[in-house]
Amino acid sequence: MTTQEKATRYLIPFYKRTPVTIARGKGCYVWDENGKRYLDMTSGIAVVNLGHRHPAVVRVLKKQASKIWHISNLFYQQPQADLAETLIQKTFDGMVFFANSGAEANDGALKIARLWGNKQGKSKVIALQQSFHGRTIATISLTGQEKYKQGFDPLLGEIAFVQPGNIQELQKTWDDKVCAIFLEVIQCEGGVRALPQEFIQEISRLAREKNSLIIIDEVQTGMGRTGTLFGYQQFGIEPDIITLAKGLGNGFPIGAIIVKRAIAQSMPVGMHASTFGGNFLACAVASSVLNTLNETFLEKVKKTSSFFHSQLTALRQQFPDLLVDIRVYGLMIGIDLAPSLAVSEVIEAFLQRGILTLRAGENTLRLAPPLTITKKEIQIFLQTFQAILKEKRGEKQ
Ligand SMILES: *Cc1c(COP(=O)(O)O)cnc(C)c1O
């Protein structure tokens, strides 16, 4: 049996897979089992932010692998303590818990918020429409998109949803029972849309007034993806809790919850735990990822982003009938396509030409290339996009 036949026979059919078997990667490129090369504009959904097999990260992983992989959290581990220190230095005065994925980090953040809130009789949580927070029962309960929730009732209670940008609805929903609000400063799965500035300001104000926690899901917007190390740093909002995963391990599974010190210190011993969370390999890798994402690196990401943005704007002027809107936040990019042009068709056309792309929201093409992408590769992408749009325009007329 081929890999694809085997997978179809033995893997639970939860995924709609592209019929390509990826065998290896390097930088911005991956190769399939037949040696065909693809330009990766996905980074495995905003995970491999430093590119595939980044040499510094590979070196650290190999070194740690030859020392020790795992001991339980009943013992102290240097890579875990070192990584926590670095994360705090780069965020706010707080403390860290390590998990293994984004959903797990959000699930833990919700537990922390409820432990904190229930002591004061606050258990209600606000989340936003079009949000995405993961696929566990707790995190689909927090997710504001029906397609992820259908059929899983009963979900977690006391979660109220607000339309992003609707300040009136926010004010009406935010009563004295609210222990926390969950948000992504840029909703990525939801269509690559930033929250409006006035809405964010009102969240900050209400959180202070009602004594509720602001929990920012940085699973996708974090780790340099949007041009700063964390997305919230561009929005003038001060979180009480942030959650991380995706880019933190550059492909090695790790998640984290960062919690303001006063709240973190109030957490009782024994109320949360993880077997794999904070293991040697994951923490050593994540530290090397964070060290690589320094100021110089992030400056370069911003330059690459503005180059990409200006080029895309020019392309849109050429195809205003097909490209409805373009949103660029660092190297998280959303391109709304006209209803006449299905995003699935465009993704397929890119694939045929050796480029991997993503979708988001309703009909949005999403790009999340490795942050190390060069102008040359961006040009290749743009030339291909132009050819596809020309062809599609011809077909549609
Ligand atoms: C991917 C994602 C998650 C879920 O992360 P997993 O590691 O798949 O559990 C949660 N929140 C956001 C914003 C994400 O993009």
Atom of ligand 1 nearest to the CA of 187: 13
Average pLDDT over residues 4-32: 98
Check if 184 has its Cβ closer than 6 Å to any atom of ligand 1: yes
32 alpha carbon to ligand 1 midpoint, in Å? 26
In whole angstroms, how far apart are CA 308 and each of 151, 266, 302? Answer: 40, 45, 10
How much is the pLDDT for 394? Answer: 87
Tokens of 1: 């049996």
Asked whether the predicted pLDDT for residue 382 surpasses 90, the reply is yes
CB 103 less than 6 A from any atom of ligand 1: yes
The CB of 133 under 6 Å from ligand 1? The reply is yes
CA distances 113 to 20, 56, 179, 184, 259, Å, are 42, 36, 6, 17, 10
Mutate to test the pocket of ligand 1, among 14, 42, 133, 250 (most ligand atoms within 8 A of CB): 133
| 3-state SS class at 8 | helix
How many angstroms is it from 189 CA to the middle of ligand 1? 9
Q: What is the dihedral of CA 130, 132, 135, 136, to 10 degrees?
A: -100
214 pLDDT more than 80: yes
DSSP state of 233: G
Among 323, 329, 297, 306, which residue's Cα sits nearest to residue 392? 323
Site to probe by mutation for ligand 1, drawn from 143, 246, 257 as the one with most ligand atoms within 8 Å of Cβ, is 246
Report the separation in Å between the CA atom of 123 and the middle of ligand 1, taken as the mean of its atom positions. 23
The answer to whether residue 53 scores a pLDDT higher than 80 is yes
Q: Is 219 in the pocket of ligand 1 (CB under 6 A)?
A: yes
| Predicted local distance difference test score (pLDDT) of residue 396 | 72
Pocket of ligand 1 contains residue 188 by CB under 6 Å:
yes
Q: What percent of the chain has pLDDT over 70?
A: 100
Pocket-testing residue among 42, 107, 132, ligand 1, by greatest number of atoms within 8 A of Cβ: 132
The yes-or-no verdict on residue 397 having pLDDT over 70 is: no
Q: What is the dihedral of CA 8, 10, 14, 15, to 10 degrees?
A: -40
Q: What pLDDT digit, counting tens, does each position of 154-168 carry? A: 999 999 999 999 999
* Residue 168 CB partners (closer than 8 Å, separation 6+): none
**What's the whole-number mean pLDDT along residues 50-67?**
98
pLDDT tops 70 at residue 338: yes
- Mean pLDDT, residues 339-361: 97
How does pLDDT run across 269-314, given as a tens digit for each residue?
999 999 999 999 999 999 999 999 999 999 999 999 999 999 999 9
- What integer best gives the mean pLDDT of the chain? 97
- Residue whose entry in the numeric block shows the structure tokens 């300001």: 201
Residue type at 214 in one-letter notation: I
Closest residue by Cα to residue 44 from 72, 71, 22, 13: 22
Mean pLDDT of 340-363: 97
- The pLDDT, as a whole number, for residue 395 is 81
Measuring from atom 10 of ligand 1, which residue has the nearest CA?
133
Distance 103 CA to ligand 1 centre (A): 6
